[in-house]
Structure 1
Amino acid sequence: MNKNNFTQYNFKSFINNAIEELRFSEPTEIQKKIIPLVLKGENAIGQSQTGTGKTHSYLFPLLESINPNIQQVQAVITAPTRELANQIYQEILKIVKHDEENKISAKCYIGGTDKQRDIDKLKQQPHVVVGTPGRINDLINEQALFVHTASLLVVDEADLMLDMGFLHDVDQIAGKMPKNLQMLVFSATIPEKLKPFLKKYMENPVFEQVQPQQRSAENIEHILVPLKSRVKIDLLTNILNSYNPYLAIVFTNTKQMADQVTDQLLERGLKVGRLHGDISPRERKKVMKQIRNLDFQYIVATDLAARGIDIEGVSHIINYELPRDLDFYIHRTGRTARAGNKGLAVTIYEPSDEDALIRLDKMGIEFSYLDLQHGNWVETTERNRRKNRTKTATDEEVKARQLVRKPQKVKPGYKKKMEVQREQIKRRERKMKNRKK
């Protein structure tokens, strides 16, 4: 038996046929770790980044365990966004279509759709339920969906679930399921606030963490462009026009900024779509359809689009703002350079971003330094000079600068104040050393 492929798991023939059609030759690292645990019925926490194959690490063994002869809910999968829930559902359909004899039924329940229609169609319970926690919980409370028969609960993108305030709904769903419930939780990070939930429902879970071999895909080129004294939206417009990309995602940190950037780019005649949490479900569905139809050359998005939404053909990522949580830099840039293609990630930076850029350097991101001058890309050493200056500053100078903020116009006495602060810091540190002795 070949231990390097999926035959070692003895899946049913329809799953093996699906694996063949999906052209999966060998399990990924997360699949090697998670599939055996699910098959054994163990609770597991899988910590891995986007693109590691985690969805199929639970879908294959989950569908293996379904008994098609018992028409009741046997597994529930929750996802934080409608797009991710629908993606998981589509992957299930790709697998179960190969099972022509025993029809495994799966249904997707998400907000923004007709709830009454969902209720009317639940006269027969599906084997597998996928959806957003709010809608699943609504259907349970309406006594239309019965999850007390399910033996498996999957919580996908749990940290994002926490950030978006959906963990309470997941808690409500889990509370209505059997006590001997098998739970699988997947998350890119495990925040402290997530731990009480995990402890409540998971007894001695197996924790599996998969670090990508590289924090960022090797075929992504990372470029830093200084803002200098330019107007940011003008610089962004020039960058987009200069690259003329197949499809670019421009990332902002807030919905308000996403709207502002979108409106300004539309005024400049660019084909732009917006994607963030405040647009209506109908509008979001329309935008996703337009993206698939290539109606846009540019999408302005918040980090919601960096997690769980698979947009094909993204050639360029532009960070209009660096994310506050730098792990999202990896998620953002991971939207490009997929399926062996090359990608470009461009970040507009300001002096205030220096700390974040140093941390990204430490995370293994290798930046090129370029500037767009009169429509031409030129190499720049500006940030390297800043880094070298920062390294030569003494600890006392750094602390003194923090205590005495430099005014916009340097007034007489500023240097003297700095010197006084430096001497005070030195005296305090000498006293501390003497006390320790």
Structure 2
Amino acid sequence: MKFKSLKIKNYIQDALVDLNFQDLTPIQEEVIPKALEGQSIVGKSPTGTGKTHCFLIPIANEVKPNLKEVQVVIIVPTRELGQQIYDELKKITRYSPEYIDLRLYVGGGRRDEEIKRLELSQPQVVIGTIGKIEDLAFNENLLKIYTANVLVIDEADMVFTPEDMTRIDQIFGQFKENIQSLVFSATITDELSRFIDKYLNKSVNVDLSGKKISKDSIKHVFIKTKNKDKNNQLLELFKIMNPYLVLLFANTLEEVDNLSNFLGTNGYPNVKLDSSLKPRERRNVLARIKKGEYQYVVASDLAARGMDITGVSLVVNYSLPTDIKYYIHRSGRTARFKDTGKVISLLDFDDEKYLARLHGRGLDIYFGEIVEGMFKETKYQERKKNKYDEEIEVLHVKYPLPPKVKPNYRKRRKEKIAKETRQIKRKRVEDIYKRKAKND
């Protein structure tokens, strides 16, 4: 399906031609016509498939420039994603014959100026984080989000965290009952699922991910680094490969600092992208990356949340995130749209369960090994479960996690499961020694 076949305003078509938008992606083909009809939608698709324009194009088409009130609210998890969406919407609306008031409300903005401007007029499209929208709409009582006809939640699995659910309920309680809701995510978390059941039970579900949590155009490779120096493994890898642009992820700010320093002292100039940077510094770093000034970028998970950096050919997980949701968002920084990419993870722990979970959710996994200056890959084969694995899995049924729990229940549940898991593993080792002694 071609963009020119969409029934949208001429000025939007002109902007899309300038942007060289020709063919809709599968998720766009499913969502945009429905969104233009006013339907509420929950869209699930791997990152890098064009979800952002699924809502930007219908929004631009429906905003009434002569109506000077909030018409659209777009909620995002981070300031960087908010800035990115703001910039893209400016491109799509730039040929509008009448001014459309778009405003970005994220951390790091000039609050006094935002308040003064709100005292004079309301924006027509609000793009912001939960905290900033809550501040201006409730604490200051200046941002009139209750007039909105459209609500968008992008990267929803990152927005709907357990600690933010109360604030989300408060914000959602301000909207009209018949508001059009457009929710997009790469994964559906428990919190997001409960929100959908509560507020969006009449929405259309568009799921183009199937069982897969990542695009087929991304190759996932794991290098076992047990008893090996991870830093040296990384240097060997970069000697073999010469990627166009690399995003290296670490779990902590300390790891980011150490990795950045190590690469720099070994002849790999790089830049850091993490939460220690001030908003202006982050914008400058992103601008320099997009200009091609850096080949190596060392980042925390901040950079994985919906940020679109063109040309990332390789993602390296220096340390793997414990939450698979973050693995998905990290890997989604490569192979944007029709590109291909690779994710290489340094596996410094023997976690068969981690790999099995990824494999079970549709990822084709490979093991990588550097042999005589060559990078060799072999396909992952999931180990068959034994009775001990099954006993460990039963623990999660034995100690269920209901939607509402008492304080500290999660912690106590985790401790009980961990304790009994250790007991099962000890029994397994004892049984192995007993069998060996019997055979001897």
CA gap 1:201/1:166 in 2 versus in 1, 3 angstroms: same
1:192 and 1:220 map into 2 onto residues whose CA distance is 26
> Please, which runs of 5 or more residues in structure 1 have no aligned partner?
407-412, 423-437
* Residue identity in the other structure for 2:189: P
Q: Tell me, what secondary structure is at the counterpart of 1:148?
A: helix
Q: Which residue of 1 aligns with 2:344?
A: 346
Q: Check if 1:91 corresponds to 2:88.
A: yes
Taking only aligned residues, the RMSD between alpha carbons, in angstroms, comes to 3.3
Q: Tell me, what secondary structure is at the counterpart of 1:108?
A: strand
Q: What does 1:406-425 correspond to in 2, within 5 Å?
A: 416-417=433-434
Q: Which residue of 2 aligns with 1:22?
A: 19
Q: Which residue of 2 aligns with 1:136?
A: 133
Measured against aligned partners, the alpha-carbon deviations of 1:407-432 in whole angstroms (never above 9, x if no partner) come to: xxxxxx9854456999xxxxxxxxxx
User: How far did residue 402 of structure 1 move?
Assistant: 2.0
Q: Check if 1:119 corresponds to 2:115.
A: yes
Q: Which residue of 2 aligns with 1:162?
A: 160
TM-score normalised according to structure 1 size? 0.80
User: How far did residue 295 of structure 1 move?
Assistant: 3.8
Q: Check if 1:192 corresponds to 2:190.
A: yes
> Please, which runs of 5 or more residues in structure 2 have no aligned partner?
392-422
Measured against aligned partners, the alpha-carbon deviations of 1:220-271 in whole angstroms (never above 9, x if no partner) come to: 4443333142222222233234424332111223444333433433444532
CA gap 1:212/1:287 in 2 versus in 1, 3 angstroms: farther
1:39 and 1:341 map into 2 onto residues whose CA distance is 28
Q: Which residue of 2 aligns with 1:252?
A: 250
2:182 and 2:377 map into 1 onto residues whose CA distance is 48
| Mapped contact 2:46–2:213 kept (Cα < 8 A) | no
User: How far did residue 132 of structure 1 move?
Assistant: 1.4
* Residue identity in the other structure for 1:275: L
Q: Which residue of 1 aligns with 2:170?
A: 172
1:30 and 1:240 map into 2 onto residues whose CA distance is 35
User: How far did residue 87 of structure 1 move?
Assistant: 1.1
More deviation in 200-209 or 109-118?
200-209
Q: What does 1:256-275 correspond to in 2, within 5 Å?
A: 256-275=254-273
* Residue identity in the other structure for 1:204: K
Q: What does 1:15-94 correspond to in 2, within 5 Å?
A: 15-94=12-91
| Mapped contact 2:388–2:428 kept (Cα < 8 A) | no
Q: Tell me, what secondary structure is at the counterpart of 1:223?
A: strand
CA gap 1:60/1:293 in 2 versus in 1, 3 angstroms: closer
Q: Which residue of 2 aligns with 1:427?
A: none
1:160 and 1:67 map into 2 onto residues whose CA distance is 30
1:219 and 1:249 map into 2 onto residues whose CA distance is 17
CA gap 1:416/1:362 in 2 versus in 1, 3 angstroms: closer
CA gap 1:212/1:259 in 2 versus in 1, 3 angstroms: farther
1:135 and 1:35 map into 2 onto residues whose CA distance is 28
Q: Check if 1:109 corresponds to 2:105.
A: yes
* Aligned match for 1:403, one of 418, 426, 431: 426
More deviation in 197-206 or 101-110?
197-206
| Mapped contact 2:388–2:425 kept (Cα < 8 A) | no
1:203 and 1:397 map into 2 onto residues whose CA distance is 37
Identity of aligned residues (%): 37
| Mapped contact 1:246–1:314 kept (Cα < 8 A) | yes
CA gap 1:396/1:356 in 2 versus in 1, 3 angstroms: closer
Larger Rg: 1
User: How far did residue 166 of structure 1 move?
Assistant: 4.0
| Mapped contact 1:250–1:317 kept (Cα < 8 A) | yes
User: How far did residue 276 of structure 1 move?
Assistant: 3.0
Measured against aligned partners, the alpha-carbon deviations of 1:177-206 in whole angstroms (never above 9, x if no partner) come to: 333322222222222223443344335222
Q: Check if 1:371 corresponds to 2:403.
A: no
| Mapped contact 2:161–2:191 kept (Cα < 8 A) | no
1:136 and 1:284 map into 2 onto residues whose CA distance is 21
* Residue identity in the other structure for 2:315: I
TM-score normalised according to structure 2 size? 0.80
* Residue identity in the other structure for 1:247: L
CA gap 1:28/1:221 in 2 versus in 1, 3 angstroms: closer
Q: Which residue of 1 aligns with 2:200?
A: 202
| Mapped contact 1:134–1:166 kept (Cα < 8 A) | no
Measured against aligned partners, the alpha-carbon deviations of 1:98-140 in whole angstroms (never above 9, x if no partner) come to: 21x2222211111112111112233222211111121122222
Alignment coverage as a number of residue pairs: 406
| Mapped contact 2:145–2:175 kept (Cα < 8 A) | yes
Q: Tell me, what secondary structure is at the counterpart of 1:352?
A: coil
1:349 and 1:151 map into 2 onto residues whose CA distance is 47
Q: Tell me, what secondary structure is at the counterpart of 2:350?
A: helix
| Mapped contact 1:271–1:295 kept (Cα < 8 A) | no
| Mapped contact 2:317–2:345 kept (Cα < 8 A) | yes
Q: Which residue of 1 aligns with 2:408?
A: none
Q: Which residue of 2 aligns with 1:430?
A: none
More deviation in 21-30 or 112-121?
21-30
Measured against aligned partners, the alpha-carbon deviations of 1:61-106 in whole angstroms (never above 9, x if no partner) come to: 222221111111111111001111111111111111121x222221
1:265 and 1:311 map into 2 onto residues whose CA distance is 21
Q: Check if 1:300 corresponds to 2:293.
A: no
Q: Tell me, what secondary structure is at the counterpart of 1:19?
A: helix
* Residue identity in the other structure for 1:36: P
CA gap 1:250/1:181 in 2 versus in 1, 3 angstroms: same
User: How far did residue 290 of structure 1 move?
Assistant: 3.2
User: How far did residue 278 of structure 1 move?
Assistant: 4.6
